[in-house]
Amino acid sequence: MFRDQLLDRRQKLETAAATPGRANEVTRLLREVDAALGRMNAGVFGLCATCHDPIEPERLLADPLTQFCLDHLTPNEQRALEQDLELASRIQRELLPKPDVRFDGWEIAQHYQPAGPVSGDYYDLIPGNAGQVYFLIGDVAGKGVAAAMLMSHLSAMLRTLVTVGLPVGQLMERVSRVFCESTLPAQYATLVCGCASSSGEIEVCNAGHPPPLLICGDEIARLDATGLPIGMFCSERFSSQIVRLAPGEMLLLYTDGLIEAQNAAGVEYGIERLSALAASANRQPKAIVDACLHDLAGFRGATGLADDLTILAVRRL
Ligand SMILES: [Zn+2]
């Protein structure tokens, strides 16, 4: 795959070399391509020239001329990468719904916290055509820039597909198929999609995501996954279920960055602790999100956030 890509670049460069005034630049790039082909022949292609460990696969895919792993970039490369990440982070934040957005009959609070500059977590709130609100939360496999790029892709797809007004199960089938056909084989995402109408009815589908908690009084019910993550198989089917919320009842959604967070002893925060907290917490969306964050911080102690973290609380008014 890389060899074809390099040979293709070589051919384009030779064509470009004919353009007046570009000979020097083209000669330099040709040398780099030939050096990469040389590394391939020597069996060291894709290994860091400093530490000889494999270079991050997504970076090699983006630039087959890369010669150093992230830990061994030159100061100039490091600066360029930091600027790219800063830009990617700004773009990603722009994709998120505005925090003060209001929907008819529903009150929603959220917390979105990338572990690094960019996140593989996804959430969105999209108004439907008939006064409903679609709420989505997901987690793209992997971390860092590659996961963030897929998150943007997912966001664009869902904002388009929601406008078609399909039932939730069919929406998930479409999004899974498009995701599957437009990404690499190992790329997939867990996703919960809910469509809440002002009557209190929510149609919800869980594709391989940790179960949202349905909080009704002291009762906590889990909405377990009914399907595999999206993008694993192009022809996957998804079923949805209907839940009805009375005024004051709430759905609490989160990514694995919450329940798989570990303390210094290596113990996971876990869904039991989250359920117990949800059963006793104040029933305002913002209050319950804050209570989760506060309890998680207490549990983690000095241990840092290892994964992206997203929490979404959806309460019927
Ligand atoms: Zn290295």
Q: Is the pLDDT of residue 202 over 90?
A: yes
For position 52, what pLDDT does the model report? 93
- Residue with token string 């056909």: 181
Distance, in Å, from the CA atom of 77 to the CA atom of 245, rounded to the nearest integer, reads 52
Question: How far, in Å, is the centroid of ligand 1 from the Cα of 70?
Answer: 7
Mean pLDDT (whole number) for 58-79: 86
* Cβ pair 299, 291 in contact under 8 A: no
CB-based contacts of 52, cutoff 8 Å, min separation 6: 44
Question: How far, in Å, is the centroid of ligand 1 from the Cα of 116?
Answer: 20
Say which residue, 292 or 12, is predicted with more confidence. Answer: 292
Report the range of poorest mean pLDDT among 93-97, 125-129, 245-249.
Answer: 93-97
Question: How far, in Å, is the centroid of ligand 1 from the Cα of 11?
Answer: 30
Token couple for 173: 């089938």
Mean pLDDT (whole number) for 290-308: 92
Model pTM score: 0.80
Question: How far, in Å, is the centroid of ligand 1 from the Cα of 72?
Answer: 5
Question: How far, in Å, is the centroid of ligand 1 from the Cα of 1?
Answer: 23
Question: How far, in Å, is the centroid of ligand 1 from the Cα of 250?
Answer: 48
Question: How far, in Å, is the centroid of ligand 1 from the Cα of 56?
Answer: 10
List the one residue out of 294, 277, 203, 280 whose CA is nearest residue 240: 203
pLDDT in tens, 275-291: 999 998 888 999 999 99
- Helix-helix angle 2-16:23-41, to 10 degrees: 160
Question: How far, in Å, is the centroid of ligand 1 from the Cα of 6?
Answer: 22
Spell 186-212 as b/e; 16+ CB within 10 A means b: ebbbbbbbbbbbeebebbbbbbbbbbb
Distance, in Å, from the CA atom of 148 to the CA atom of 74, rounded to the nearest integer, reads 24
Question: How far, in Å, is the centroid of ligand 1 from the Cα of 120?
Answer: 24
Distance, in Å, from the CA atom of 98 to the CA atom of 268, rounded to the nearest integer, reads 31
Say which residue, 138 or 76, is predicted with more confidence. Answer: 138
